[in-house]
């Protein structure tokens, strides 16, 4: 126990130090202008500086782009990072159909605020954007030639740039991104002397944000556009906040086991073991899940949940609910699949609060906006309930063996991917597969811990569901009229 406590403290201290120390020496401020939440990052040195507006992608936030604020401010730029409508701290909704107008409006607000800052040279401004934000800044710079330079990371559509505008445009894409992103970046940059293309090795759509090479190429491009380097300061390590977040989440994960042991007041059960019969049972569970998930994926398109003002989540809510209900119905008819009865201590409800803290605190502090704003409060409850139904049905079908949750989660993800490919839901799902898989595996680990101490199935479902539901409900855009 002493060794575990030492590891927990080490992880927590290391993660906190990494996050708290990011952007050290820079001046930060948060304001809201015309309904648009804005984060300012100012260099340590006084004087007037060029300014840069940094725009996040779909389901992103100003917090997600904070490493770009660190990099640019350290190199002598004043930075404004915005939350687009429907994202982060914004309580406004992103239109379902034509979102171009509101994105351009929000950029206009951010640039106007940037130019109004006393330490900004209003004649020297640039734009940086990722994914949806890359399209927005490219389109904006094309219509506003006073923008000195533009950096478009993972630009989704070549239509956002015309043959001659914008000038001084750098496009970047990850070597591991879908080929379409590299194709778009190349086609936009080709044949223009004031444009360039950079392919960043070893990264995909999300990790490109944390690659040092991405930040080096951005700074070089902007320095050249503004007539030379602002200073010779080293670029801060972009993944500092991300690594700190991971360390904090590991600390919470390791701390969950002794917490549940204390809350339950019971002796731990043995960890589950694999045998020939268990593998056959796992195969049957996977087969049942395939049928349930396919039915859920089809029916989810027809349910009223699709009208929820949370992009993509409405479909996922229906998909999770129907799939979970079918798994429960099947398991209820097959007594062999019922887990052992467990009552558990009422104190296990505190595990829910711990689960919320373990996901909300590290992610909000070190990675992206993860605290409910506006309509997200009641939408979070709905998403949470849907994944609790899925978790409850999965627990019943798995027979109380956490290892059996892995094939259920795998089938759930594969069918969701098929739904995205066939047009049943948004193709954006394909870009967030890695985080989704990680959340489902994390949920399975928590289930294993709770099962060791005879937690009731409903408590396991409610606690595990928050691990998946919280990030989905807090990052997917508020959308609608």
Strand locations in 135-251 (E): 149-153, 169-174, 195-200
Residue 123 has a pLDDT of 95
From the CA atom positions of the chain, what is the Rg in Å?
A: 24
Stretch (H or E) spanning 254 = helix 240-264
Q: What is the pLDDT of residue 383?
A: 97
CATH architecture group of domain 23-235: 3-Layer(aba) Sandwich (3.40)
Q: What integer pLDDT is reported at residue 337 of this predicted model?
A: 46
- Can you read off the two tokens belonging to residue 256? 């969950």
**Encoded tokens for 353:** 């609060």
**pLDDT number for residue 339:** 47
Contact present, 169 and 189 (Cβ < 8 Å): yes
Two structure tokens written together for 136:
């927005």
SS3 344: coil
- pLDDT at position 273: 63
Q: Minimal CA–CA distance to 416: which of 389, 440, 400?
A: 440
* Digitized pLDDT (tens) for each residue of the chain, 481 residues in all: 678 888 999 999 999 999 999 999 999 999 999 999 999 999 999 899 999 999 999 999 999 999 999 999 999 999 999 999 999 999 999 997 788 999 999 999 999 999 999 999 999 999 999 999 999 999 999 999 999 999 999 999 999 998 889 999 999 999 999 999 999 999 999 878 899 999 999 999 999 999 999 999 999 999 999 988 777 778 999 999 999 999 999 999 999 988 888 887 777 777 666 555 577 888 889 999 999 999 999 999 999 999 999 999 999 999 999 999 999 999 988 754 444 445 556 677 788 999 999 999 999 999 999 999 889 999 999 999 999 999 999 999 988 777 888 899 999 999 999 999 999 999 999 888 888 898 998 888 888 888 888 788 888 999 999 999 999 999 999 998 7
Whole-number pLDDT of residue 15: 97
Q: How many residues does the chain have?
A: 481
Map out the domains of the chain as residue ranges.
23-235, 241-475
Cβ-count burial of 66 within 10 angstroms (0-12 exposed, 13-18 middle, 19+ buried)?
buried
**Which stretches of 84-195 are DSSP H helices?**
100-116, 132-143, 179-189
3-class SS string, 285-340: HHHHHHHHHHHHHHHHCCCHHHHCCECCHHHHHHHHHHHHHHHHHHHHHCHHHCCC
SS3 label, residue 468:
helix
């Amino acid at each position: 126990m002493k060794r575990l406590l030492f590891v927990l403290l080490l992880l927590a201290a290391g993660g906190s130090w990494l996050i708290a120390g990011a952007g050290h020496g820079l001046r930060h401020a948060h304001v809201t202008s015309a309904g648009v939440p804005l984060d300012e990052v100012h260099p340590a040195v006084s004087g007037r500086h060029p300014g840069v507006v940094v725009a996040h992608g779909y389901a992103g936030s100003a917090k997600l782009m904070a490493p770009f604020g660190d990099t640019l401010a350290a190199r002598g730029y004043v930075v404004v990072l915005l939350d687009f409508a429907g994202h982060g701290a914004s309580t406004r909704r992103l239109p379902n159909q034509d979102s171009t107008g509101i994105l351009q409006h929000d950029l206009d607000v951010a640039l106007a605020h940037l130019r109004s800052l006393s330490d900004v040279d209003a004649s020297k401004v640039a734009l940086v954007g990722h994914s949806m934000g890359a399209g927005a800044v490219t389109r904006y710079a094309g219509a506003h030639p006073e923008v000195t330079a533009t950096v478009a990371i993972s630009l989704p559509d070549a239509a956002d740039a015309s043959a001659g505008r914008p000038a001084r445009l750098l496009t970047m894409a990850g070597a591991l991104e879908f080929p379409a992103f590299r194709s778009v970046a190349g086609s936009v940059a080709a044949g223009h002397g004031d444009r360039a293309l950079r392919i960043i090795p070893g990264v995909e759509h999300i990790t490109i944000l944390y690659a040092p090479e991405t930040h080096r190429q951005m700074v070089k491009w902007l320095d050249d556009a503004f007539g030379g380097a602002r200073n010779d300061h080293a670029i801060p390590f972009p993944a500092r906040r991300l690594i700190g977040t991971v360390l904090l989440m590991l600390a919470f994960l390791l701390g969950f086991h002794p917490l549940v042991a204390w809350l339950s007041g019971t002796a731990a059960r043995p960890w589950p073991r694999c045998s020939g019969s268990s593998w056959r049972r796992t195969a049957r569970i996977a087969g049942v899940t395939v049928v349930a998930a396919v039915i859920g994926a089809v029916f989810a398109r027809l349910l009223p949940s699709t009208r929820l003002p949370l992009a993509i989540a409405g479909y996922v809510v229906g998909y999770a609910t129907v799939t979970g209900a079918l798994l429960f119905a099947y398991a209820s008819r097959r007594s062999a699949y019922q887990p052992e009865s467990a009552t558990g201590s009422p104190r296990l409800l505190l595990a829910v609060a711990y689960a919320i803290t373990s996901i909300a605190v590290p992610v909000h502090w070190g990675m992206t906006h993860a605290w409910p704003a506006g309509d997200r409060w009641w939408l979070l409850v709905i998403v949470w309930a849907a994944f609790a139904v899925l978790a409850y049905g999965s627990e019943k079908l798995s027979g109380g063996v956490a290892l059996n949750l892995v094939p259920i989660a795998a089938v759930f993800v594969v069918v969701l991917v098929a739904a995205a490919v066939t047009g049943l839901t948004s193709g954006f799902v394909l870009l967030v597969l890695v985080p989704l898989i990680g959340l489902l595996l994390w949920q399975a680990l928590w289930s294993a811990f709770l099962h060791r101490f005879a937690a009731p199935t409903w408590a396991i479902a409610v606690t595990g569901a928050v691990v998946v539901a919280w990030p989905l409900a807090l990052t997917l855009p508020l959308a609608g009229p």
